[in-house]
Structure 1
Amino acid sequence: MVQSTKQQQILGYFIEEAKEHLDTIEQGLLNLQATMADAEEMNQLFRAAHSVKGGAAMLGFDSIQKISHHLEDYFKILKENPVKIDRKLEDHFLKGFDALKALVEALQSPFGLRQEDADRALRDSAPAFAALGKHLNGLISSEAAAAPTSTLPANAAAQVNQILKLMLQLFKQGDSPKGRQQLMTLCVKLAQLDKTSQPWVLTVQTAQRAIANPNASFAHLAPLIIKELKQASDLLLTGRASEILPSHALQKFVGTGGPTTAPAAKATPAPASTPTPVPETVAPMVSGNGVANGNGVSNGNGPSNGNGASAPVATRQRQVAIPADPKGAARALLDHFNKGELIQIAEFLMKAIQ
């Protein structure tokens, strides 16, 4: 009876969190075109489906896991292949969402989510997801056909790699007026790869201006600029130049205001709700030769401590951030532990408060 009560508590946490994620998904789907225009909102949509999938997998709800996984996959495709949303695509997404919502609501019914109902929902949703995939692929193909032909040279990727290697070598040689001039010349060559792409040209010019700033040290510029130009060139070469944007970190080095040293950290009192890192000790399991076997049981042939018991093995620390509020703490535990571990944690807590 105690075990059942604890499991009900864990289930309650999952349902509460899943309903919040479902609200996020529903709001995003009701105006999908506007959601796609905002990268952060699109990321929230993807993360919401991912979180429901993870919680369902932990608790053994296969139907909820599979349907939320379908949504997660199609949200990922939509993130990577922006298309013009039509009513048909929205309807397909909403049908898949409705199936997921119905399963989560069934968990709250007096009988819970019965296996036959879960299997039926999974079967009924399959055609909707198949139609969603087919229609989405059609929209992506149409967008690709209508896209303007790239003006990039055939060996653009090789040129980018060669220029970035030269820039890295110049940074390693140390700061000098000649080195800065050579780096700026390489930036000009990068910009000329596609002078029609304003986002690309803007990002390269921002890097060039940062290099021209004498107050910006190579130690700060080198990793930032190489990473920034590599990411931007990847987007350019894959036809996603519209997503290129110079970061705020890079823009800070432009002009005379660029920092020459790393800013000193300011000590500020932590708010009451600041998550507290709690170390979790995980002991590797010992096999016959003293090597972790992953099954949680020692076969008795490992090192002995002299009294017949296996010697303790090394432990590794994993940090888990536990928020100060109970609701947030429960969510953190659900994210980091499986079903068996959560039950053990609940037992420890029950003993501690008795």
Structure 2
Amino acid sequence: MDERQQQIMMYFIEEAKEHLDTLEKGLLDLDATMQDPETLQELFRAAHSVKGGAAMLGFSSIQKTAHRLEDAFKILKENPIEANQKLETLFLKGFDTLRDLLNHLASPEGLSDEESNRIVKESEPAFIDLEKYLHQLIGVPEDEEIDPEFGEKAVEFLREMLQIFKQTATDANRKKLGYLCTKLAELDKELAIEPWQKIVKAASQAIANPDNLYPTLAPVIIKELKMASDLVVLGQTNAIGPSPVLVQLAGPAKGLGENQIAIDLEPKAAAKALLGAFKKKQLVTLVKLLAEAVKSM
């Protein structure tokens, strides 16, 4: 990591620590927090800001963890729920995961892929418990019964897709990926869940576009289809939908203007492109603008 990248990362860590303080303070007195919409909004924005900064720098484990906290805070914002000890404990477990990841990142050793994967994997049961308990508290209705093996089968197909994405982008490989999209769509052929069918179709169209490179497609498609399959299993099909990025990839390719550069959707690759195209002063300005934009979301 060069000096400029190090500066940007340190800026992110400093901001993230401030957001952690906000989250901890609010969660330790969750009852009072839930009675104050302004404080609850601060917690939501803190998680959102960490998620945005982590995404920009390619720290996917931090991004995912902050995103899950953000989603949980969104439920609190939109539904009248009374705080209790169980809810506070579950939230604090999620917070501890985020803090653990950021502490590792700030340490001299840094945050290795192996360590981040371990932390995220160990935290998965706690986040699932938090999501289920929140849905129980707000009385989320269950969808029709789906194949109990839906999630496992979806993961199987996504693993196959990931292996193909690691290979050379040939017409034959794109056809294989398209076939796997068909298999994913058939997982709910009896129920024909429209949101699931829609996002799989968008993925198939994005794959079929030869202008879309594998390094661009892979992180978007694998992540969104995995998230969508999780929502199907949880019975939250109304929350499924292709992101603006996937919609753009599924549409016709557009040319670049004279003063434009192509930015890869993979965060680390995007950061590398920006570091190569901008001068130091421009980068500092860009980081400040992004930080301000994230805070205002």
Q: Out of 239, 254, 258, which is 1:293 matched to?
A: 254
1:246 corresponds in structure 2 to none
Question: 1:136, CA displacement in angstroms?
Answer: 1.4
Q: Out of 41, 56, 71, which is 1:58 matched to?
A: 56
The structure with more helix, counted as a fraction of residues:
2
| Identical columns (%) | 55
**Larger radius of gyration, structure 1 or 2?**
1
Matched, 1:83 2:16: no
Letter in 2 for 1:112: G
Which whole-Å CA distance do the structure 1 matches of 2:84 and 2:279 have between them? 47
Paired residues for 1:155-170 under 5 Å: none
2:280 corresponds in structure 1 to 347
Matched, 1:126 2:59: no
Which whole-Å CA distance do the structure 1 matches of 2:276 and 2:88 have between them? 40
Which whole-Å CA distance do the structure 2 matches of 1:29 and 1:9 have between them? 30
1:44 corresponds in structure 2 to 42
How many residues align? The count is 162
Letter in 2 for 1:341: L
Paired residues for 1:197-208 under 5 Å: none
Q: Is the 8 A contact 1:6 1:346 kept in 2?
A: no
Q: Out of 93, 96, 113, which is 2:91 matched to?
A: 93
Describe the shift of the 1:36–1:343 C-alpha distance in structure 2 as closer, same or farther (beyond 3 A). Answer: farther
Which whole-Å CA distance do the structure 1 matches of 2:73 and 2:66 have between them? 10
Which whole-Å CA distance do the structure 1 matches of 2:64 and 2:75 have between them? 17
Describe the shift of the 1:94–1:45 C-alpha distance in structure 2 as closer, same or farther (beyond 3 A). Answer: same
Q: Is the 8 A contact 1:7 1:343 kept in 2?
A: no
Matched, 1:15 2:16: no
Question: 1:293, CA displacement in angstroms?
Answer: 2.2
Which whole-Å CA distance do the structure 2 matches of 1:5 and 1:96 have between them? 32
1:4 corresponds in structure 2 to 2
Q: Once the two structures are superposed, what CA deviation does each residue of 1:296-354 show, in whole Å capped at 9, x if it has no partner? A: 5x8xxxxxxxxxxxxx58x9xxxxxxxxxxxxxxxxxxxxxx6243664453569xxxx
Matched, 1:106 2:76: no
Which whole-Å CA distance do the structure 2 matches of 1:349 and 1:130 have between them? 41
* SS, match of residue 139 in structure 2: helix
1:34 corresponds in structure 2 to 32
1:137 corresponds in structure 2 to 135
